[in-house]
A and B are shown apart, each in its own frame.
Chain A
Amino acid sequence: AQSVTQLDSHVSVSEGTPVLLRCNYSSSYSPSLFWYVQHPNKGLQLLLKYTSAATLVKGINGFEAEFKKSETSFHLTKPSAHMSDAAEYFCVRGGYQKVTFGTGTKLQVIP
């Protein structure tokens, strides 16, 4: 089955420390993968996307993600967390396949 798995439902980091949000996918085809962020009571905003070009993708607000086909992973990282990064993050598989959302990871940033 085609799926997206976000390995952590909650991640807590201190302000200024690195962020790692994990996502694994399954796909029979070369997938298009996205990370979206949702702040409380706000809509979904696209952070970055992978569409079979460069495997290291840079997004907005200092986030980046690396597509690793051998590990079927697309983890989201940021070198230094900011208080404004506290939100829920969704890994999404799309492209020419059925759109599938991961279950989300809530990021807490501790001052």
Chain B
Amino acid sequence: GESVGLHLPTLSVQEGDNSIINCAYSNSASDYFIWYKQESGKGPQFIIDIRSNMDKRQGQRVTVLLNKTVKHLSLQIAATQPGDSAVYFCAEGGGTSYGKLTFGQGTILTVHP
């Protein structure tokens, strides 16, 4: 993918608000999508995944929505907490790329107490 340097999209919210992080994916053949959370100095942490035969999946405080028509993925975090502050990446896989994941740009989420 192209380099976008250090200018990641950012989202600032107040504690207790709901957060929505968006992602556009590139490969229409992808059939598996994952959201990861990455804190500074740590590896990506699995949050939630969804397969292309679904358009919504819910976890604990998180919901992932998939719109295959426009190749868009979103992560909704309910009642955001300061501990949710991190960089969030979407990743796509499957289809003809089974095995490897292709990661999106990342969004910096900052939650203010």
Question: Do A and B share a complex?
Answer: no
